[in-house]
Amino acid sequence: MPIANAMRAGLERGSWIRKMFEAGIELKARLGPQAVFDFSLGNPDLEPPPEFLDALRAAAISDEPGSHAYMTNSGYGFARQAMAQKVAAEHDVPTQADDVVMTVGAAGALNVILRTVLNPGDEVVVVRPYFAEYSAYVENSGGALVVADSAPDFSLDPEAVARALSPRTAVVIINSPNNPTGRVYPRSDIEALASALSAHALKTGRAPYLVVDEPYRDIVYDGVFVPPVLSAYPESLVASSFSKTLSIPGERLGYVAVNPACAEKALLVSGLATSNRVLGFVNAPALMQRAVAASWRAKADVSRYGRRRDMLAAILDGAGIRYARPEGAFYLFCEVPAGGPATVPGESRDVAFAMALKDRGVLSVPGVGFGYPGWFRLCYCVPEATIEGSRAAFEETARAWNA
């Protein structure tokens, strides 16, 4: 038994996002990069803003003693202070530095939270379609994933979430702006969810934590507003990062912020800092904390993503492929066109369609990877030439699919 059974099962299930990303590397080597249109991975193609690069240069040449030493597991005080200021403005609560733990990306933030609050068998409710890695993160901490449906337009369905709650529910995770749908949950959805969670707490005596996973908070279009969540429900935490908004996913910097109104706040923050250590992260990267604390107000040029969204949407319109129009993030979630060849037993239509696209050089992610078969995801944080070049492949695949 060279590896654990759970890991073997995980490898077999695989992550479709990673599988497609790796298929892209192979296709590019075989066909040449011009013949491959890779919409698989949410790897921002915009360079980080100059404010971040300047702050990084300044941090890198600093010879202040101890700059590269171990630190407290929750991170530098000045970085936590900066994040507290950010979260206070975004979530309308008086967050302080002590309410924040710096983490290794949003992925680190989510794992640290789950490790801190889950007892074996506790349930974590997520909304379908959901970021594929949630199931692995929940499993990492011995929890059980419970899936609630979203509304047909992919907005939040608070009643569906309420039906998914049980006395074992420890956490509800929401993600807005959403990966893969691009939906931004409006204030009315957040308030209805908060009421459902409060009613559940009254009934069962257990208030689930509401975790807001929001690495795309600043990436919104057409003036859409991302409402505060922490001010709506006390037992809440933010998990976020600068991977998407500063275009630095490889640098792995994120944070958890605990609602100052949370009943067990001090205990929770101590647990989060300890989880950071015992999960092996120890602390968030020192150099990045210094660079981001000095540049977090800088923004990616979202209008460039907006242009890419519109270009790709026009190509899909031309090919007759329907999609949910994104209000934020940089993904188009598309419906597999009706018709198509008979699939082999056990293979869903979205996998067959993603393979048909791949045969024409287009890499997408089948919806089954997000718990939502029948749909597929395209990530449009790619160069405009990639989008423009993919037109014929989409049109031909859709035509052949319907033939």
Ligand X SMILES: Cc1ncc(COP(=O)(O)O)c(C=O)c1O
Q: What is the 3-state secondary structure (H, E, C) of 273-300?
A: HHHHHHCCCCCCCHHHHHHHHCCCCCCC
Confirm or reject binding of residue 131 to ligand X (CB under 6 A): yes
**Cβ atoms within 10 A of the Cβ of 235, count?**
24
Confirm or reject binding of residue 397 to ligand X (CB under 6 A): no
What is the number of residues in the chain?
A: 403
Cα dist from 25 to 35, 120, 357, whole Å: 12, 39, 16
Question: Among 6-14, 241-249, 284-292, 363-371, which window interacts with ligand X (CB under 6 A)?
Answer: 241-249
Binding mask 253-292 for ligand X (x = CB under 6 A): -x--------------------------------------
CB-nearer residue toward ligand X: 73 or 103:
103
Confirm or reject binding of residue 179 to ligand X (CB under 6 A): yes
Question: Among 101-109, 200-208, 336-344, 390-398, which window interacts with ligand X (CB under 6 A)?
Answer: 101-109
Helix axes 349-359, 391-402, angle to 10 degrees: 130
- Contacting residue, 27, 82, 84, 106, with ligand X by CB under 6 A: 106
Confirm or reject binding of residue 170 to ligand X (CB under 6 A): no
- Contacting residue, 158, 249, 326, 366, with ligand X by CB under 6 A: 249
Please report how close the Cβ of residue 396 comes to ligand X at its closest, in angstroms.
30
Q: What is the DSSP letter of 220?
A: B
What's the CA gap between 392 and 315, in Å, rounded?
9
What's the CA gap between 397 and 389, in Å, rounded?
14
Please report how close the Cβ of residue 249 comes to ligand X at its closest, in angstroms.
5
Please report how close the Cβ of residue 211 comes to ligand X at its closest, in angstroms.
10
Q: 27-86: which residues touch ligand X (CB under 6 A)?
A: 42
- Contacting residue, 24, 49, 75, 105, with ligand X by CB under 6 A: 105
Sign of the alpha-carbon torsion through 293, 83, 279, 67: positive
Confirm or reject binding of residue 107 to ligand X (CB under 6 A): yes
What's the CA gap between 163 and 177, in Å, rounded?
23
Contact of 361 with 31, CB cutoff 8 Å: yes
Contact of 296 with 52, CB cutoff 8 Å: no
- Contacting residue, 213, 218, 251, 327, with ligand X by CB under 6 A: 213
Sign of the alpha-carbon torsion through 314, 315, 320, 324: negative
Confirm or reject binding of residue 171 to ligand X (CB under 6 A): no
What's the CA gap between 46 and 237, in Å, rounded?
29
- Contacting residue, 74, 95, 135, 241, with ligand X by CB under 6 A: 241
For the record, the structure tokens of 340 come out as 């198509």
Please report how close the Cβ of residue 241 comes to ligand X at its closest, in angstroms.
3
Question: Among 20-28, 99-107, 136-144, 276-284, which window interacts with ligand X (CB under 6 A)?
Answer: 99-107
Please report how close the Cβ of residue 181 comes to ligand X at its closest, in angstroms.
11
Q: 304-363: which residues touch ligand X (CB under 6 A)?
A: none
Contact footprint for ligand X (CB under 6 A): 42, 105-107, 131, 175, 179, 213, 215, 241, 243, 249, 254
